[in-house]
Chains A and B, each alone.
Chain A
């Protein structure tokens, strides 16, 4: 009897405690940037948008779900690491990548929609669970216009060893929808007092950056220098315009003091004459192959006919 009373009291206490329990919720949640915007997509284009998901420190594990609302272009966007994934306890920041693939047959058009990202506690207790989320607005435009545009984000002239070529690093953000690179990089090298010009040189051999991507293009300059410090003045050109000027000190060090330098890429000069010559050569080569195949087939056929007529003669 006494035991039964105790059980009842305990049950009531549990119910009361349960009733007072707050539902388990995520304390806060955010995303940046909350959009996927591109108004320069060319049919067949690809671009990525990295989005940072964040929540306060020390939070419990949650399940992240991404719902797609992309009317008329549902298959254009894919999210890495996926549409559903777990965020472990304590993990504060997750970077997701929205990959946009525009179909090659996409017509010029505007596409609007959104992705809804929600984070739900993995354990549900309480009466009403509150799930927080954030909306990623999607705003795309497909165009047939080829847009040639890029921005310089950073330029560096790193230290080198004696005998090395000087490299001008340019971080380029290609904001257009075609491959692009600066048209020219001009470099002037001065003494350490920045008074006497030692040499000036320029190059147009620059690696192109793919559309909507940020990458580095390296300009190499063969200017022999002794060990010491020098001022370099680099100018990045877009057409005939200087769009970035950089003045920096760099050091020429003794051999064996720096990690290996990146290799200078080879550039094929695809001028018209080269292309035409290559095309003609290819066509001639194909013609020769076809001729030899035909000749071989003819001989084989003649041989078969001879064997057949011999057989016929024998029968007669």
Chain B
């Protein structure tokens, strides 16, 4: 039985197939042969549904925005995904703030709860990207996001299921936000050139704690307004170690250049957190300045009085210029050294404290507040980066300045000088430097007082002589020692026989002719004991009285000769030998 049914079914099948083929043939060829209908036209229709695209690569943050690498304010958090639309439609990547999405006809979907971003349409199987810029409105440290893929179609747009777990690691929801540190105040200190502890302090606030790990902040103090987030590109004064600041103060110590002119020096402070996010506004990048103090100048190297050599005066009855040189140093640079740098020169027994004011001047032993001037030959001041400048002080020693060599009242003394530097703050007594002590040589000098500088005997008859010796010469102490003299003379020559020297007599007072001393052709010592000058305002002097005898029978006429007055140092032995003031 089964075999029969089976063969009948097989026959029907073949018949229907054949009929169908024939129908098709005639239909296609247009041959209208009516075949008796075995089956009728059945209208077919199908509604292809629009399927939602499906993610082939789930939406994710790229780069990852998590607690370790949060997205900084004003930077973009970027979302990427790849989806496939079985209908071949383009698709949109929508990153919503809530788990809700709404489609649009042939357009981008919308996020009823707000969107972080919706991409441009992307082809099926292509990647879509959308970015969101973090603003100050994102006050929290993390924000959830919900990703959808929605197709672009005119009919029945569809969106995928929500996806926000990312693809790996922490690149899924939520994204993390890093906020800027605040920079509300900055303060500084004054310092001297070369100081290493001038503190710059910044007041800051940053409470991002990155899931339990507090952000740290660093202070950078730059020399110019140029900071790239990690270093001062135009030079750095200092920077602090990273520190937690919720709120807090950060500080670093800068080193003042040496030398450095006094006054204000600019600096530019910057704050940056541990995610390389700089502060904004406030004191960030502002122009600030710290004060460099005006420090007093001092002496570099020992000043030199007369180059270290003994002083020899050389101007009778007036002054001789001697020099004290030295080098002044100022940590504000040599350009800060003032012209009021002065020098004090004194006899060591007087002492500096008794010879450092103008009113204490005594030309015998004290020359205070001698003016000095910059001298490049001593030491050149080359500019703001040079600390040192040379100074030269001119001391006009009077001819009677006390000698300190052998056989003088001051042979146990010497002369010394002190260079006293000054800048705009005034004279720095504490910074003065003393020279080595040197000897003032004896200056043996004489002059003849005007009006008493000639020996003219006038007209005298032969066979007669001067009755009382007359004051013809006054010997002045024109140096710094007490004077004796030696006297000698030549014969006087004229129309007759020579009038020999011994026909002249001399004495210290106006004695009678017979009491005078015969003049000799060889120098004979004569103790004048002329006092050392310097105590009365005029040169000390002693007179010498002269007289002459004309031998009997001397031929009349004019006779001339030469008398020599030789200065001899009156060696000092006992106090007051030189009439010196104690």
Q: Which residues of A contact B (CB under 8 A)?
A: 18, 22-23, 25, 27-35, 37, 52, 54-56, 92-93, 116, 118, 120, 124, 126-135, 137, 152-157, 171, 192-193, 195, 214, 229, 246-249, 251
Residues of A contacting B478 in the complex (Cβ-Cβ under 8 angstroms): 28, 30
Are the CB atoms of A129 and B566 closer together than 8 Å?
A: no
Are the CB atoms of A229 and B387 closer together than 8 Å?
A: yes
Which of B9-17, B40-48, B124-132, B306-314 sits within the interface?
B306-314
Residues of A contacting B558 in the complex (Cβ-Cβ under 8 angstroms): 18, 127
Are the CB atoms of B388 and A249 closer together than 8 Å?
A: yes
B194 within 8 A of A: yes
Residues of B contacting A25 in the complex (Cβ-Cβ under 8 angstroms): 448, 453-454
Closest Cβ of chain A: how far from B506's Cβ, in Å? Answer: 12
Please, which residue of chain B has its CB at the minimum distance from the CB of A257? B382
Q: From the candidates A32, A56, A93, A249, name the one contacting B442 in the complex (CB within 8 A).
A: A32
Please, which residue of chain A has its CB at the minimum distance from the CB of B436? A153
Are the CB atoms of B313 and A32 closer together than 8 Å?
A: yes
B316 within 8 A of A: yes
Closest Cβ of chain B: how far from A291's Cβ, in Å? Answer: 58
Which of B244-252, B296-304, B347-355 sits within the interface?
B296-304
Q: From the candidates B313, B455, B457, B476, name the one contacting A130 in the complex (CB within 8 A).
A: B455
Question: How far is A23 from B455 in the complex, measured between Cα atoms in Å?
Answer: 8
Closest Cβ of chain A: how far from B375's Cβ, in Å? Answer: 15
Are the CB atoms of B445 and A54 closer together than 8 Å?
A: yes
Please, which residue of chain A has its CB at the minimum distance from the CB of B567? A134
Question: How far is A33 from B559 in the complex, measured between Cα atoms in Å?
Answer: 37
Question: How far is A10 from B445 in the complex, measured between Cα atoms in Å?
Answer: 42
B364 within 8 A of A: no
Are the CB atoms of B312 and A52 closer together than 8 Å?
A: yes
Residues of A contacting B444 in the complex (Cβ-Cβ under 8 angstroms): 30-32, 34, 134-135
Known: A28-B445, A229-B387. A133 touches B473 (CB 8 A): no
Are the CB atoms of A134 and B560 closer together than 8 Å?
A: no
Q: Taking chain A's interface residues, is the majority helix, strand, or loop, or is none over half, making it mixed?
A: strand
Are the CB atoms of B314 and A118 closer together than 8 Å?
A: no
Are the CB atoms of A133 and B567 closer together than 8 Å?
A: yes
Are the CB atoms of B479 and A30 closer together than 8 Å?
A: yes
**New contact pairs (13) apart from A29-B447, A192-B258, CB-CB < 8 Å:** A29-B316, A32-B444, A33-B441, A35-B405, A93-B314, A128-B455, A130-B562, A130-B565, A132-B446, A132-B565, A133-B566, A154-B436, A249-B327
Question: How far is A34 from B486 in the complex, measured between Cα atoms in Å?
Answer: 15
B569 within 8 A of A: yes
Are the CB atoms of A247 and B562 closer together than 8 Å?
A: no
What is the number of contacts between chain A and chain B, taking CB atoms within 8 Å? Answer: 187
Residues of A contacting B565 in the complex (Cβ-Cβ under 8 angstroms): 130-133
* A-B residue pairs, 9 tightest by C-beta: A30-B445, A153-B308, A28-B447, A248-B301, A133-B566, A34-B444, A33-B441, A32-B312, A54-B314
Known: A32-B444, A128-B560, A251-B386. A135 touches B567 (CB 8 A): yes
B456 within 8 A of A: yes
Interface residues of B in 447-464 (CB under 8 A from A): 447-448, 453-457
Interface size on B, residues (CB 8 A): 59
Residues of A contacting B338 in the complex (Cβ-Cβ under 8 angstroms): none
Interface residues of B in 7-49 (CB under 8 A from A): none
Are the CB atoms of A134 and B446 closer together than 8 Å?
A: yes
Closest Cβ of chain A: how far from B389's Cβ, in Å? Answer: 11
Are the CB atoms of B562 and A128 closer together than 8 Å?
A: yes
Are the CB atoms of B453 and A127 closer together than 8 Å?
A: no
Are the CB atoms of A134 and B566 closer together than 8 Å?
A: yes
Closest Cβ of chain B: how far from A73's Cβ, in Å? Answer: 19
Q: From the candidates B300, B441, B560, name the one contacting A127 in the complex (CB within 8 A).
A: B560
Are the CB atoms of A129 and B453 closer together than 8 Å?
A: no
B523 within 8 A of A: yes
Contact with A along B320-344 (1 / 0, CB 8 A): 0000000101000000000000000
B165 within 8 A of A: no
Are the CB atoms of B309 and A131 closer together than 8 Å?
A: no
B492 within 8 A of A: yes
Residues of A contacting B329 in the complex (Cβ-Cβ under 8 angstroms): 249
Are the CB atoms of A116 and B523 closer together than 8 Å?
A: yes
Residues of A contacting B300 in the complex (Cβ-Cβ under 8 angstroms): 247-249
Interface residues of B in 56-102 (CB under 8 A from A): none
B507 within 8 A of A: no
Please, which residue of chain A has its CB at the minimum distance from the CB of B406? A37
Residues of B contacting A248 in the complex (Cβ-Cβ under 8 angstroms): 300-301, 327
Residues of B contacting A155 in the complex (Cβ-Cβ under 8 angstroms): 301-302
Residues of A contacting B457 in the complex (Cβ-Cβ under 8 angstroms): 127-128
Residues of A contacting B466 in the complex (Cβ-Cβ under 8 angstroms): none
Please, which residue of chain A has its CB at the minimum distance from the CB of B494? A127
22 contacts between A and B (CB under 8 A): A22-B453, A23-B560, A25-B448, A29-B446, A30-B314, A30-B446, A30-B567, A32-B442, A33-B405, A34-B481, A120-B562, A124-B560, A127-B492, A127-B560, A129-B562, A130-B448, A130-B455, A134-B567, A154-B436, A229-B387, A246-B301, A247-B300
Known: A29-B445, A32-B312, A134-B566. A192 touches B301 (CB 8 A): no
Are the CB atoms of B406 and A35 closer together than 8 Å?
A: yes
Residues of A contacting B405 in the complex (Cβ-Cβ under 8 angstroms): 33, 35
Known: A55-B316, A153-B309, A192-B194. A27 touches B448 (CB 8 A): yes
Closest Cβ of chain A: how far from B387's Cβ, in Å? Answer: 6
Question: How far is A132 from B457 in the complex, measured between Cα atoms in Å?
Answer: 19
Are the CB atoms of A22 and B454 closer together than 8 Å?
A: yes
Residues of A contacting B407 in the complex (Cβ-Cβ under 8 angstroms): 35
Question: How far is A27 from B449 in the complex, measured between Cα atoms in Å?
Answer: 9
Q: From the candidates B258, B308, B448, B455, name the one contacting A193 in the complex (CB within 8 A).
A: B258
Residues of A contacting B409 in the complex (Cβ-Cβ under 8 angstroms): none
